[in-house]
Copies of this chain bind each other. A is one copy, B any other.
Amino acid sequence: MKILRDLIEVDTAVEAFARALSKISLRTESLRIGEALGRVVASEVKAEFDFPDQDRSAVDGYAVVAEDTYYASQYSPVELRLVHDRRGDLCIGKGEAFEVFTGNPIPCGADSVVMKEDTVREKDKILVLKPVPVGGNISRKGEDYAKGSILVPKGTVLNPFHIAIMASNGLKTVEVFEELRIGVISTGNEIVSPGLARKQGEYYDSTGVLINQLLIQDGFYKVTYYGVFPDDVKALTEALEEAVLENDIVLTLGGTGVSESDVVVEVAEKKGGLVFRGVKMRPGRPTSSSMINGKPVLHLSGYPVAAWTGYEVIFRRAVAKAFNLLNYNRRVAFAKLARRLPNQVGYQTYIRVQLKMGEDGLIAEPYMLRGSGVLSSLVFSQGYVEIPSNIEGYEKGEIVKVFLF
**Across the two chains, which residue of chain B brings its CB closest to A361?**
B334
Q: Bound state CA distance, A257 and B1, in angstroms?
A: 76
A208 CB to closest chain B CB (Å) equals: 8
Task: Please tell me if the beta carbons of A371 and B143 are within 8 angstroms of each other in the complex.
Answer: yes
Task: Please tell me if the beta carbons of B257 and A209 are within 8 angstroms of each other in the complex.
Answer: no
Flag whether A353 is at the interface (Cβ < 8 A): no
A37 CB to closest chain B CB (Å) equals: 6
Name which of A6-14, A167-175, A234-242 contacts chain B: A167-175
Flag whether A75 is at the interface (Cβ < 8 A): no
| Residues of A37-64 whose CB lies within 8 A of B | 37, 51-54, 56, 58, 60
Task: Please tell me if the beta carbons of A204 and B167 are within 8 angstroms of each other in the complex.
Answer: yes
Task: Please tell me if the beta carbons of A170 and B198 are within 8 angstroms of each other in the complex.
Answer: yes
Flag whether A391 is at the interface (Cβ < 8 A): no
Q: Which of B194, B357, B376, B378 makes the CB contact (< 8 A) with A167? A: B194
What residues of B have a CB within 8 angstroms of the CB of A164 in the complex? 206-207, 209-210, 213, 304, 375, 378
Task: Please tell me if the beta carbons of A170 and B204 are within 8 angstroms of each other in the complex.
Answer: yes
Interface centre among A102, A171, A378 (most CB of B within 10 A): A102
What residues of B have a CB within 8 angstroms of the CB of A171 in the complex? 194
Q: Which of B194, B210, B303, B375 makes the CB contact (< 8 A) with A103? A: B303
Q: Which of B33, B198, B334 makes the CB contact (< 8 A) with A333? A: B334
Q: Bound state CA distance, A105 and B161, in angstroms?
A: 51
Task: Please tell me if the beta carbons of A201 and B54 are within 8 angstroms of each other in the complex.
Answer: yes
What residues of B have a CB within 8 angstroms of the CB of A370 in the complex? 58
**Across the two chains, which residue of chain B brings its CB closest to A260?**
B101
What residues of B have a CB within 8 angstroms of the CB of A361 in the complex? 334, 399
Task: Please tell me if the beta carbons of B205 and A139 are within 8 angstroms of each other in the complex.
Answer: no
Q: Bound state CA distance, A252 and B367, in angstroms?
A: 45
Task: Please tell me if the beta carbons of B144 and A102 are within 8 angstroms of each other in the complex.
Answer: no
Q: Which of B52, B144, B334, B360 makes the CB contact (< 8 A) with A362? A: B334
What residues of B have a CB within 8 angstroms of the CB of A152 in the complex? 379
Flag whether A203 is at the interface (Cβ < 8 A): yes
A252 CB to closest chain B CB (Å) equals: 17
Q: Which of B143, B159, B209, B376 makes the CB contact (< 8 A) with A144? A: B376
Q: Bound state CA distance, A194 and B161, in angstroms?
A: 15
Q: Bound state CA distance, A163 and B162, in angstroms?
A: 29
What residues of B have a CB within 8 angstroms of the CB of A333 in the complex? 331-334, 362, 404
Known: A34-B212, A37-B217, A375-B164. A172 touches B194 (CB 8 A): yes
Q: Bound state CA distance, A194 and B36, in angstroms?
A: 15
What residues of B have a CB within 8 angstroms of the CB of A216 in the complex? 37, 160
Instruction: Please list 5 pairs of residues, one from A and one from B, whose beta carbons are closer than 8 Å in the complex, sorted by A's number.
Output: A162-B379, A165-B375, A165-B379, A170-B195, A333-B404
* Known A163-B209, A165-B375; further 8 A-B contacts with Cβ < 8 A: A37-B213, A101-B257, A103-B303, A161-B210, A163-B210, A164-B375, A167-B208, A167-B209
